[in-house]
């Protein structure tokens, strides 16, 4: 199995490596865009995601209600009177506290999309950089950086969050800090693993031999070769981030009533699913599922588009 890394088309000389790279550098993003635009599933998903985002930011305009006012006549009898109805403008019915569910889903979508996207971006940027640097430099630096990750993976996360709350008070900003703290850890381990393998390839060795600065090598040679895995893993992280938000909010650090999120809505809907108000689970979960599907196909499309071997 020694031919695993054999790559006959790689240029053998350092000079060629340099030139090839410049050619690639110019066409990489244009190529990727063309390929991505040709991917039907990804394009449909992108449209879906744009629609969901549009719903999140402009959906409230379609409804005469808001996300916090309680309808006292419905409260207490949501099961019978709180059903979804186009006639009275409560498109998604009522939540268990007698509030308009449509507007709550709209507003929850706004929070959760932001959480998912920001969390995934932090994971991608911090995790990739950290993992690639550790893996590429290797040795003691790698060992120290990875032991730090071991510690960060095992430290009682909840206390970190509580301390953040005590020190900085609650705010949406702190929610993203709380999410970001752990989002990148697994990513950095995956990226480092890939980097360890990539750095032994001949084109990297060639670049090292010609004295290209290490950070440039990481940026131009290593990262493009592991983007596929990064993008796919990032899409796996999105639903995790969105659900982690509800735990952070449980501690009082994140989103507070009357604001809400998909995580909170889904968990409320789950707790009442046995009592005849299934729409309370169905609508938020539906939006969650649709969006995660879209994220996944976009991720796959990006992966295909960015694959350097296809170029």
Partner 1 sequence: MHISMKSALFASALAFASPALAAGTAPDGSALADDQTFTYRVLDEHSSVDPQIVEDVSGSEIVRDLFEGLYNQDADGNLVPGVALSHEVSEDKLTYTFSLRPEAKWSDGKPVTAGDFVYGWRRLADPETASPYQWFVSVMGLANGEAVTAGEMGVEELGVSATDDHTLVVTLSAPLPYFPLTTTHASTFPSPKWVIDEFGADWTAPENIVSNGAYVLTEHVPQERSVRSRNEMYWDNDGTIIDDVVALVINDENVALTRYLAGELDRTEVPAGQYPSMKEEYPDQALSFPRLCSYYFNFNLSDRGPEATMNNDVRLALSYAVDRDIIVEKVLQGGQFPAYSFTPAATANFEVPTVDYSTWTQDERNAKAVELMASAGYGPDNPLELTYLYNTSEAHKKIGIAVAQMWKQTLGVAVTLENQEWKTFLETRGDHDFQVARGAWCGDYNEASTFLDLVHTDSGYNDAAYHNEEVDTLLGEAKSLEDPQANYTRIEEILAAEMPIIPIYHYAGVYMMSPAISGSWPVQNVEQNWYSKDLYKVAE
Partner 2 sequence: MFSFIIRRLAVAIPTLLVLLILSFYLMQFAPGGPFTSERPLPPQVLANIEAKYGLDQPTWKQLLSYITGIVTEFDFGPSYKYKDRTVNDIIAQGFPVTLTYGTIAFALAIIVGGALGIAAAIRQNTWLDYFAVGFTIGAQVLPNFVMAPILILIFTLWLGLLPGGGWNGGQWNHVIMPVIALSTSYMASVARLTRSSMLEVLRSNFIRTARAKGLPENVIIWRHALKPAILPVVSYLGPAFVAMVTGSFIIDSIFSTGGIGYFYVNAAFNRDYAVMMGLTFLLGSMTILFNMVVDILYAWIDPKIRL
List residues binding partner 2 (CB under 8 A). Answer: 1-9, 138, 143, 146-147, 149-151, 153-156, 158-160, 162-163, 166, 185-186, 189-190, 192-194, 196-197, 200, 228-229, 232-233, 235-236, 239, 243, 266-267, 270, 273-274, 281, 285, 288-289, 292-293, 296, 300, 303, 307, 309-310
Between 69 and 210, CB nearer to partner 1: 69
Residues, the chain, total?
311
CA dihedral for 283, 275, 67, 296, sign (positive or negative):
negative
Of 86, 59, 128, 104, nearest in space to 283 by CA:
104
Between 197 and 271, CB nearer to partner 1: 271
Geometric angle at alpha carbon 55, from 52 and 59, rounded to 5°:
170
111 backbone dihedrals φ, ψ, rounded to 5°: -65, -50
Report the nearest approach of partner 1 to the CB of residue 96 (Å): 7
When CB distances are held under 5 to 8 angstroms depending on the partner's kind, the choice from partner 1, partner 2, none that residue 96 binds is partner 1
Residue 72 within binding range of partner 1, rule CB under 8 A: yes
Among 53, 81, 157, 170, binds partner 1 (CB under 8 A): 170
Among 66, 68, 202, 307, binds partner 1 (CB under 8 A): 68
CA 218, CA 45: separation in Å to the nearest integer?
A: 31
**Collapsing DSSP states into helix, strand and coil, what is residue 94?**
strand
Packed helices 14-38 and 279-306: angle between N→C axes, nearest 10 degrees? 140
Between 21 and 300, CB nearer to partner 2: 300
């Amino acid at each position: 199995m020694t031919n695993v890394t054999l790559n006959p088309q790689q240029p053998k000389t350092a000079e060629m490596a340099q030139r090839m790279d410049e050619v690639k550098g110019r066409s990489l993003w244009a190529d990727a865009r063309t390929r991505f635009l040709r991917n039907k599933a990804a394009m449909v998903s992108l449209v879906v995601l744009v629609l969901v985002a549009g719903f999140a930011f402009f959906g409230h305009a379609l409804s005469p209600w808001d996300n916090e006012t309680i309808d006292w006549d419905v409260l207490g009898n949501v099961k019978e009177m709180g059903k979804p109805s186009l006639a009275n403008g409560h498109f998604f019915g009522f939540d268990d506290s007698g509030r308009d569910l449509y507007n709550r889903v709209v507003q929850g979508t706004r929070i959760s999309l932001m959480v998912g996207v920001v969390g995934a971006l932090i994971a991608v940027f911090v995790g990739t950089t950290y993992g690639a640097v550790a893996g590429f430099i290797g040795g003691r630096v790698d060992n120290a950086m990875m032991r730090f990750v071991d510690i960060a993976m095992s430290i009682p996360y909840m206390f970190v969050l509580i301390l953040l709350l005590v020190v900085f008070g609650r705010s949406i900003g702190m929610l993203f800090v709380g999410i970001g703290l752990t989002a990148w850890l697994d990513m950095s381990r995956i990226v480092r693993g890939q980097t360890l393998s990539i750095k032994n390839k001949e084109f990297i060795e060639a670049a090292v031999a010609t004295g290209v600065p290490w950070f440039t090598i990481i940026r131009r040679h290593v990262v493009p070769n592991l983007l596929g895995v990064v993008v796919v893993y990032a899409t796996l992280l999105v639903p995790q981030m969105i659900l982690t938000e509800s735990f952070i909010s449980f501690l009082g650090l994140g989103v507070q009533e009357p604001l809400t999120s998909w995580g909170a809505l889904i968990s409320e809907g789950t707790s009442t699913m046995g009592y005849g108000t299934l729409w309370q689970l169905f609508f938020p979960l539906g939006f969650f599922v649709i969006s995660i599907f879209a994220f996944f196909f976009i991720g796959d499309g990006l992966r295909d588009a960015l694959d350097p071997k296809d170029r």
